[in-house]
Structure 1
Amino acid sequence: MKKFLCFLCVSMLVVSCKKNDKIVKDAEEIPLTIEVDRYDKAFFESKPQDLPKLKAKYPDFFPSGIDEKYLAEKMVHPMWRQLYQEVEKRYSNFDAQKTDIEKLFKYIKYYYPETKTPKVITVIQDMDPDYKVIYSRDKNVLIISLELYLGKDHKFYEYPNYQKKTFEPTQMLPDIVESFSHYIVKPPSERDFLSQMVYAGKQMYLKDVLLPETSEEDKICYTTEELKWCDDNDVEVWKYFVEENMLYSTSSKLTQNFIAPGPFSKFGMDNDKDTPARIGVWFGWQIVRSFMENNNVPVQKLMLMDAKEIFQKSKFKPTK
């Protein structure tokens, strides 16, 4: 019996690997070319008197009411000029990033063939972490704020450490997927904590399928130590969620404590600072992964399913 079960597991693993190999082959053979427009270069290599020309070429960056005097000053201000120079040091040649984005959109087209290939526009905006990447399906553009991908230790970043680590260049592709996911992943219809976790878990699983070569750490923006903490403490944390009746609670505090970005997860205990932030996102990810391992459901259908159905059919159970 043990020999049979071992043979069955190996056979399933071989089938899974062959399936994944076929997906990789089929996806990466999709013909696709990304056009990159370097608005950051166009802006900072222009002079204030060239603003009318820029406005004619890039009308979306000149909405009504914008202070063109501010833009003219931005072009020549020493601090903005220095920031542009720092961006140029890292991204003067954007070819490697262009190749990576093309590969990503090949996978997107594999799973969502109706998706149009967007135009990529690189910018230097106002260092707002909420707008690192903007994907617009309506306008068919992907806007990337390069000033927010200079590396967590860059001298220009005056942010908390938990935010600065999201400014690594390796976060660019996961950020693109997250922005794309807003068009794909159905928002939760209920406000309970479980629904919020599973929604975040779907977004993470989308990174699994669209970024197969990206590390676990980069997908969730964790260190290796933080991932290990989750693996080592999953039983205790899950038991805490269940015993405290949190799963079906609609308290907004749970989202703030366990899903929203922050320096750590907030259990209200003395050792909270030793925990990774967004532990609810990690659990949602494991629930969705468990569901997909135990159910034959296309990715497209998964993204539209109800959180409670996913949880009930996931057979999720902490592993330790």
Structure 2
Amino acid sequence: MQYRKLGNSGAVVSAYCLGTMTFGAESDEATSFKLMDDYVAAGGNFIDTANVYSAGVSEEIVGKWLKGKKLRDLVITTKGRFPMGDGPNHHGLSRKNLNEALDASLKRLGVEHIDLYQIHAFDALTPLEETLRFLDDSTLNGKIAYYGLSNFLGWQLTKAVWLAKANGYQPPVTLQPQYNLLVRDIEHEVVPAALDAGIGLLPWSPLGGGWLSGKYKRDQMPTGATRLGENPARGMEAFDKRNSKSVTWDVIGAVEDIAEARRATMAQVALAWVAAQPAVTSVILGARTTEQLADNLGAAGLELSTHEIATLSAVSKPEMSDYPYGEGGIGQRNRKLEGGR
């Protein structure tokens, strides 16, 4: 397992992080414990959860597992933002909600502090200064070691970084976005903003909801032990939209070709591509079963060649209009002036 700095902090985390959104929902407690045991045995030290995962049950399961563990060997992250109650102050990024959310997460996890506390999404109703001041205070009083952001746009990330700097607050160290070979739009603004600020990316859904593992077939209804096969109501409209795009199958075909040549699985190739991208600190694995996790962890030993990365990047290149990102846009002109960097 490779280890990397946690964004612009001094902490070190494994290149693959164990996501726990399935805990308490698709993975029962015993399976969740086994997933964490296997992950740590493989060299992983970074576990990601959130208060809304299974309405707090995911944090409780992680907390039970943590009892008796050497916390210095692990980096635990959770999130706050979304509703955990029906009241008007039970969601958002206000000091009131985050203070209560953080204390509740600490209790469920059974720890005195959280290594990385993440803001789950932007809140247009709460002044960002209020949120950042709360996070700075929480860092100073020892409730959290570092904080990060999640699902922020490029301008929102840059605003947070510079507001923290202007006010002398602790800066964010990470950003958790969706990122995979089928969803690369963050490369337009978010990735450049993260690189500019020294922010580390923690990509979620690196397998595109399972598409990049090869479990879905063109123009075939999902069946068997897949999320949509077991419960089509979870997103058949999104499935049909992705299935209808030729680029989806071009990307899947390229992943399959490289996987066969490297004697790896498609999931391992797709994960290795994400892990090799600029600014990426740790890739979040969302396994439901120990078999899925074992397969995903195989990506830790797979280093794609420059040619393989270029091939996958070319076939999955996101569409963009001529302005401002395309051939005739400002972004392209700036890249030419900078020598193609």
TM-score, shorter chain, exceeding 0.5: no
Using CA pairs under 8 Å that are at least 6 residues apart, name the structure with larger relative contact order, 1 or 2. Answer: 2
The structure that has the greater radius of gyration is 1
Higher helix proportion: 1
Higher strand proportion: 2
